[in-house]
Amino acid sequence: MKYRLEFCDVISKDNMGGGSSIFTKQELDDYQELTYFTKKEIHHVYKRFKSLAPNPEAVTKATKLSRDELYALPEIKVNPFKDRIVRVFSSSGDDSMTFEDFLDMMSVFCDHAPLAIKIEYAFRIYDFDEDDSLGREDLRKLIDRLTGEMKLGESDMEQLIQAVIEESDLDNDDGLSFAEFEHKMTKNPEFVTSFRIRM
């Protein structure tokens, strides 16, 4: 509640065109230009970012949140791919995020990001071994994480992986390249609704 008040304050100051805010006007414009968010939403994202830090008062844009701190975000916490998400969106590659990384992530997951972008990031998240192709091992990991504590039997797993590859592998290289993945996902009406995080 406290933060909320402080937050409104910031917005009103910003709207009046003066005063010190977290972001300069220019920054806000840029962020708005580069993400799929409005100014208000950017502030909101900042608020969420701040709330994750152990010491919210000391948070600035440059603050880096570690992996464990990011795991406190409810959607990330329950997500079976949380380590991948944190890795993919961390610009420094060490699983920590600055505010801009965080904004980037929320922008990709927001309602208004186009399908192509969501697909691209989904591909990166699912590509566990980062070889730019979803091979059998990737699929195995993916399915294992999807089913959680219950594991599919070995024969079931083999059957499933085989089925997925048979459905999607156009060039018979025994894995999904990005183009193949994209091709499949553009035809999946559920994907765009499921691949998002509420603000």
Partner 1 sequence: MNRNRVSPFGENPPPYYSYGEEVEKFDDYYDDALNSVVSGENIPTKKNPIIDNVNDSVLRRRRSRRSARKLRRHQQLLEGESNEPDVIVDDDDDDDDEDDLRTRIEQKKGPGHWTPFLHERRAKLLQKEIKQSSGCCGGSNTNRQNWRKFKIWKKEMSYKLEPWGSWLKNVEGHQGTGVVSYFVFLRWLFFLNLVIFILMLLFVTIPYVAFSNNGYTYVVTGSGVSGMSVASEQTCSPLYQVNVSSDAKTLIQDFLQGSGWMEKTAMFYGFYDSQDLNSFVAGHYSLPLAYLLTSLVILLFSLITMARYTMQSFRENLEDQNEKHQYCNRVFGGWDFALSEEGTAVLKHRSLYKDLAGELAEQRHHEARKNMSSNDKCRLYTIRFFINFMVICILGGSGYLIYWVTDWVTSFLADPNYKTNNDAIVVLLVEFLPSLTITALNGIVPLIFGIVVKAENYTPEFTIKITLIRTVFLRLASLAVLIATIYRIVSCTDKETTCNVGQNACDSLRCWETYVGQNFFKLIVLDFLVKVGVTLGYELPRKILTTKCDAAICKKIGLAEFDIPKNVLDIVYTQTLCWLGFFYAPLIPALATISMFVLFYLKYLSAMYNTNPPEIPYKASKSNNFFMIVLMIAFFLCCLPVGYTMVKLTPSYGCGPFRIYSYMTVCVDATISNFPSWLQTIIGIFTSGSFIIILLVLLSLIIYYTSSKSGARAKMIVMLKEQMIMEGKDKQFLLNRIYELTGEKPGAKKKDNKRPPSNGPRNGPPPSAVKTVNEVHQNGNVSKDNDEIEKKIRVVELTPVDDVPEVVPYNDPDDSTRKTAETAFKREVTPVDWDQVPGDENTNRTTSTVTATNVAFDF
Footprint on residues 132-151 left by partner 1 (CB under 8 A): 132-133, 135-137, 139, 142-143, 146-150
Q: Which of residues 1-20 bind partner 1 (CB under 8 A)?
A: none
Of residues 17, 18, 33, 57, which one binds partner 1 by CB under 8 A? Answer: 33
**What contacts 110, CB < 8 A, 6 or more positions away?**
35, 36, 37, 41, 196, 197, 199
Interaction between residue 60 and partner 1 (CB under 8 A): no
Query: Least distance from C-beta 188 to partner 1, angstroms?
Result: 5
The helix, strand and coil proportions of the chain, stated in percent and rounded to the nearest 5, come to 60, 0, 40
CA distances from 31 to 37, 75, 85, 172, 185 (A): 8, 23, 21, 42, 28
Shortest Å, Cβ 55 to partner 1: 23
Please, what is the end-to-end C-alpha distance for the chain in angstroms? 17
57 or 62: CB nearest partner 1 = 62
Q: Which residue of 7, 36, 47, 83 would you call a contact of partner 1, by CB under 8 A?
A: 36
β partners of residue 65: 97
Q: In terms of CB distance, is 1 or 57 closer to partner 1?
A: 1
